[in-house]
């Protein structure tokens, strides 16, 4: 496997500014394979349905539902300035460090324009680039709000990705 051998990095799922997120508990070097986005293969009949799933379109012919307990990668949030990329060789999706990541940082990757436009843009992106202080532009929020913030992340609104080199999540039409 080489490049896509998942490293044994300590990660933790905990509350983030957008609900649950995945955080590094140790430094992770650039280029490291952090996790595989795993799931159950979804049939053609299920692809068009919005059933609150974590769909990932990993290739033209293959969509997986990542909403299974073993798949901690389903908690990795979107960022417009991510520290990881989702790459998908052979219909699989791996989360790869695009730069060195420090212990304590949240793991993020870019879900892709289609998903962003459909699910994130209407509510406003909560990523570190778009909200460096954890507050939406022009709307003051208590500073502590990022710890208690309600999840606006459309978890399970149907996420998919195309694994053409850089995998992207693809919004599924309801």
Q: Least distance in Å: CB of 113 to Zn ion?
A: 12
Instruction: DSSP letter for 115, please.
Output: H
Pairing type for strands 63-65 and 55-57 reads antiparallel
Nearer to Zn ion, 84 or 127 (CB): 127
Answer whether 155's CB lies under 8 Å from 145's CB: no
| Stretch 88-147 residues interacting with Zn ion (CB under 5 A) | 125, 127, 129-130
SS3 content of the chain, % helix, strand, coil (to 5): 15, 30, 55
Closer to Zn ion at the Cβ: 69 or 132?
132
Place of tokens 């992340």: 153
For 155, the token pair is: 């978890």
Q: Tell whether residue 6 is a contact of Zn ion (CB under 5 A).
A: no
Among 4, 15, 46, 80, binds Zn ion (CB under 5 A): 80
Q: Which residues bind Zn ion (CB under 5 A)?
A: 80, 125, 127, 129-130
């Amino acid at each position: 496997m080489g490049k896509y051998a998942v490293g044994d990095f300590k990660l933790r799922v905990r509350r983030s500014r957008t609900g649950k997120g995945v955080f590094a508990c140790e430094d992770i070097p650039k280029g490291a394979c952090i996790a595989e986005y795993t799931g159950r293969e979804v049939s053609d009949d299920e692809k068009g349905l919005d059933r609150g799933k974590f769909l990932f379109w990993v290739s033209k012919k293959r969509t997986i539902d990542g909403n299974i307990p073993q798949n901690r990668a389903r908690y990795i949030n979107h960022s417009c300035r991510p520290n990881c990329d989702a790459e998908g060789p052979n219909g699989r999706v791996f989360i790869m460090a695009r730069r060195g990541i420090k212990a304590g940082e949240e793991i993020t990757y870019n879900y892709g324009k289609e998903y962003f436009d459909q699910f994130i843009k209407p509510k406003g992106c909560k990523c570190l680039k778009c909200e460096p202080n954890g507050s939406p532009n022009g709307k003051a929020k208590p500073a502590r709000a990022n710890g208690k913030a309600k999840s606006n992340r459309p978890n399970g609104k149907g996420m998919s990705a195309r694994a053409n080199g850089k995998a992207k999540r693809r919004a599924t039409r309801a």
